[in-house]
A and B are shown apart, each in its own frame.
Chain A
Amino acid sequence: MNQLPLLLTGIAVAVALAGAVVALVLPERRAPALLLVASCIAATLALVAGGAVLLGGASGDRLLWSFPVLGPIAVGTTPLGALFACVAAFVYIPTSIYSLRYLDRYRHEYSLRAFSSWYCVLLAAIIAIFICRDIVSFFIVWEVVAIASAALVAYEWRRERNVRAAFIMLAMSEAGTIAAMAAMLLARAGSGSLLFGVPAGGLSAVAAWTIFMLSFFGFGVKAGLLPVNSWLPRAHPVAPGNVSALLSGVILNLGVYGIVLVNVELVPVRFAGEGIVVLAIGAASALIGILYATIEDDLKVMLAYSSVENLGIAVTALGVAFVFTAAHQSVFAALGFAAGIYHVANHSAYKGLLFLGAATLDARLGGRSMNRLGGLIRILPATTAFFFVGVLAIAAIPPLNGFVSEWLTFQALLRAVELSPLGLRIVFALCGAILALTAALAVTCFVKAFGMTFLGKARTPLPRVGEAPSTMRLGMALLALECIGLGVLPTYVLPVIGRAAADFFGSGTIVTALIPQFFRPAAPPNPLPPDFVATFHALGAQIGMGLPGRGWVAMLRGGSANPVVFAMSTTYLTFIIIALLGVTYGVVALVTRRRAIDRSRVWAGGLRSLLPEMTYTATGFSNPVRVIFNAIFNPTEVENDRETIYEHFRSAIRRRREDVFSADRVLAEPVAQAVRRFASFLARMHHGRLPAYVGYALGTLVVALAIVIWM
């Protein structure tokens, strides 16, 4: 048992906590630098520790001490936790670098010390949560995460919107925590121990379902799943830009971690029905999320809704894994699991990048409404390039990372043919269709986001600003590199995920299933026809041979009738794309070498030039989606005034609509209304008449007595 990673993680937590304390005493202007140093050291340590666990092996649980009332506290590294910690560190490091200069905009207005302190606290908690191996410590750290993130959302406390959003976020998070805690306690009830490491006893079907539903609800809140994500589109956009990146790139992952922890490790899924619930909620979240993202004009709100979509996709993949687990098809379960976790990691990389990009626009131009921006490629070329990488990735354009995980998700869904019940197949098919629609809408959404913001003509006069400071660009560049790396080299990423999954789906399942065996020349027993093997060797199976790893093609092998179920290589694709672009460029250059090229203005129907107000707006671009899915958006018309002068001379048409997020409409508003009604009912009891109060006291006494006697 390797204890070093655990030690490293402990040091990382300590460094971060120390940073949080020191930040409070340092001078204000030093705070960002401290934040950078402390969080980079801590995150790097966590990264190293995580890497060591994934490559070397887990530590096993280690009992720290036992509280008299609360019970034992245990820590330990697990491959799953290490993987999530690595993902978190991969977002945290660039974001911290980015923060150094980004925080300039808050100087003199808000306390940078407070920010740095909370920032480090959050980091410490996030690193710590992945080594908590018992209910008590887990939920204590969980609460720290919730409070620290709420504090960061409310950082700009002078703005009412922020404070409100933080409160809503905190309140919903608490509700989720209670549900999750209840589920965990129920799950531990069988084993009689609060430690995760002790296997759960046999649970009845009812108990298993209760645990599943409670935990899925509880962690679903954190993961931003429908219908309990009303907080997400409120909190993510108002938070400072770097915090938004963390919220989407790190905090949401905790929800997924929780779902996996309960349903894979603590109480492994037994019923296909549980998987179906996860699948359906995931697909619904994906579709609804992308729909709202598409019609949104505020860049950050759009990104927030898009987070709902992406977590939805990841959870859909997990749902597939759960269904296959229940059906005892561990290969396909592992496939779904890998797709889901891969997507979570991808989402962290590109959403972090995109939020930092949006924050850059916010900081440089003081605005992020796509209807006002436009043509930024001319003033912010580097930011544009990074944002473009993020957009390609999130729109699942090969060879970037979004494509890999979405492709795996689809492949996992298509494995529905391996399931025998017709109902399950139908559900899989439906979810596949929904995801396909989601993918198409995502392209629309991000064509709009990129096109409206960075291309074309500025819709409002832009301030003359230069490119963002180098540290901000470096932060974005690192994340962009992650997006490219995760996309181009999936065959190096999948084995890592495979190690995290090894405990649950059998060691090497993912690697064996996805990265084919016949990459190694003579690996008996070889069930495939020799000529086929030869072809695939010639085709490129051997190209990556000299390099570490197992090759550059991810494929699933079938029986002899269909030797390859699916295969994909973004690595080769990258070479091909580069080659095609190069050839195209060369041909064009060659053909036009001797030709004069006429350059003339854009043809605008004879107008001398198009005016800024004639440029397509983001709202206009996405209006078809709004019209088609009107039933879902169900917008309320707030204003529709037709103003005339002298009765007939039309001078103004004023219109305003409001789209209420469907989660708010379906759940949040009715709940809020019920609470308000209950509160007013309680208020009615307080009418100030003494006999009534005496009556209440008496009644309570009687009820209490009755309970005591009955027990």
Chain B
Amino acid sequence: MSWFWRGLRAGVLTEGPAPEALPESLSPGLPRATEFSTPAQAAEIAARCPTGALEAQDRVVGVQPDRCVDCMRCKSAQEWRHDVRWAHPDAVERFGSRFKHSIHVRIIDAGDCGSCLNELAQLTGPSYNLHRFGIFITPTPRQADVLLVVGPVTRQMAGPLKVAYEAMPSPKRVLAVGACAASGGIFGPSVMSAGGAADAVPVDLTVPGCPPPPLAIIGALRALCGQEPPA
């Protein structure tokens, strides 16, 4: 009973609508295309990137956000964006009206380092409260509409991932969360891991970030059920 009162006393901790710009306490943001004064400088900046997320073209350093692993080496020079709409579709397809109201998500850890999973755990916490959008985490793929993949898909997890995907009833969608699931990140493709979830199952939407902030993951899930458009 005392827990009941403690819970009531704590009051509502969920924060309102997502801020337009994410503060650093929520996420470092994502690098975005930046124009530098000289091609040489651009090349130098692009060369700092260990995963090839930055690409210098003349004076502009373009960005493939899926590859960014937050090493922060370009932070001092490259411009970073701080919005919340990180999700971008691989194949533009929506759930449509059938899943507008409520969806169930099965999370699959296919080699995640733990930080993406930790951010996913935060989703259901009081600060983010995923459930208010009618989105629920389910332990079985049999009831799941969305397969949320984190991690680069290691070769020993590829099998279970495919089995889980097959176990889901149609219609189903796959959301790749984090740089690893989006592109293999720092780990792949390599000897024991693939280059992301797309190598094992058809991915519908990816969220970059290492790890992506909870608000961006919520945005992606809402985009999947058609509650808001993807970026």
Contact = CB atoms under 8 A, between A and B. Distances in A.
Are A and B a genuine interacting pair, yes or no? yes
Interface of A: 598, 600-601, 603-608
A604 B163 CA distance: 9
Interface residues of B, number: 12
7 contacts: A598-B170, A601-B163, A603-B163, A606-B159, A606-B161, A606-B163, A608-B163
Contacts of B170: 598
A18 B164 CA distance: 69
Contacts of A606: 159-161, 163-164
A592 to B, nearest CB: 13
B160 A600 contact: no
A605 B167 CA distance: 10
A294 B161 CA distance: 40
B166 interface: yes
**Max chain A C-beta neighbours (<10 A), residue from B161, B166, B167:** B167
Interface string B123-161: 000000000000000001110000000000000000111
B52 interface: no
Nearest to B159: A608
B167 A601 contact: yes
Given A598-B169, A598-B170, A603 B142 contact: yes
A598 B142 CA distance: 11
A608 B157 CA distance: 11
A603 to B, nearest CB: 5
A603 B160 contact: no
A77 B5 CA distance: 79
A269 to B, nearest CB: 57
A609 to B, nearest CB: 9
A600 B159 contact: no
Interface string B164-191: 1011011000000000000000000000
Contacts of B167: 600-601, 603
Nearest to B157: A606
A608 B161 CA distance: 10
Given A606-B159, A608-B159, A600 B166 contact: yes
B177 to A, nearest CB: 18
**Max chain A C-beta neighbours (<10 A), residue from B141, B159, B163, B166:** B163
A603 B160 CA distance: 10
Nearest to B140: A603
A601 B164 contact: no
B143 to A, nearest CB: 10
Nearest to A604: B163
Contact of A607 (B160, B161, B166, B169): B160
Contacts of A604: 163
A604 to B, nearest CB: 8
A707 to B, nearest CB: 81
Nearest to A596: B170
Contacts of A601: 163, 166-167
A603 B142 CA distance: 8
Q: For the complex of A and B, list the 3 residue pairs with the smallest distance between their C-beta atoms, beginning with the closest.
A: A606-B160, A603-B167, A600-B166
A607 B163 CA distance: 8
Nearest to B142: A603
Contacts of B166: 600-601
A683 to B, nearest CB: 69
A657 to B, nearest CB: 34
Contacts of B160: 605-607
Contacts of B169: 598
Nearest to A597: B169
A608 B167 CA distance: 11
**Max chain B C-beta neighbours (<10 A), residue from A601, A606, A607, A608:** A606
A606 B169 CA distance: 15
Contacts of B163: 601, 603-604, 606-608
B164 to A, nearest CB: 6
A598 B166 CA distance: 10
A84 B167 CA distance: 56
Nearest to B141: A603
B91 to A, nearest CB: 21
A360 to B, nearest CB: 36
Contacts of A603: 140-142, 163-164, 167
Contacts of A607: 160, 163
Nearest to A602: B167
A607 B141 CA distance: 13
A654 B144 CA distance: 41
Contacts of A598: 169-170
Nearest to B108: A606
Contacts of B141: 603
A606 B142 CA distance: 12
A606 B166 CA distance: 10
A285 B163 CA distance: 50
A607 B166 CA distance: 12
B148 to A, nearest CB: 15
Contacts of B161: 606
Nearest to B172: A598
A600 B172 CA distance: 14
Contacts of A600: 166-167
Nearest to B166: A600
Nearest to B170: A598
Nearest to A598: B169
B158 to A, nearest CB: 11
A594 to B, nearest CB: 15
A607 B170 CA distance: 21
A428 B170 CA distance: 57
B57 to A, nearest CB: 43
A605 B106 CA distance: 12
A607 B167 CA distance: 11
A605 B161 CA distance: 10
B142 to A, nearest CB: 6
A603 B169 CA distance: 12
Interface string B103-133: 0000000000000000000000000000000
B154 to A, nearest CB: 13
A604 B167 CA distance: 10
Contacts of A608: 159, 163
Given A600-B166, A601-B167, A608-B163, 15 more contacts: A598-B170, A600-B167, A601-B163, A603-B140, A603-B142, A603-B163, A603-B164, A603-B167, A604-B163, A605-B160, A606-B159, A606-B160, A606-B163, A606-B164, A607-B160
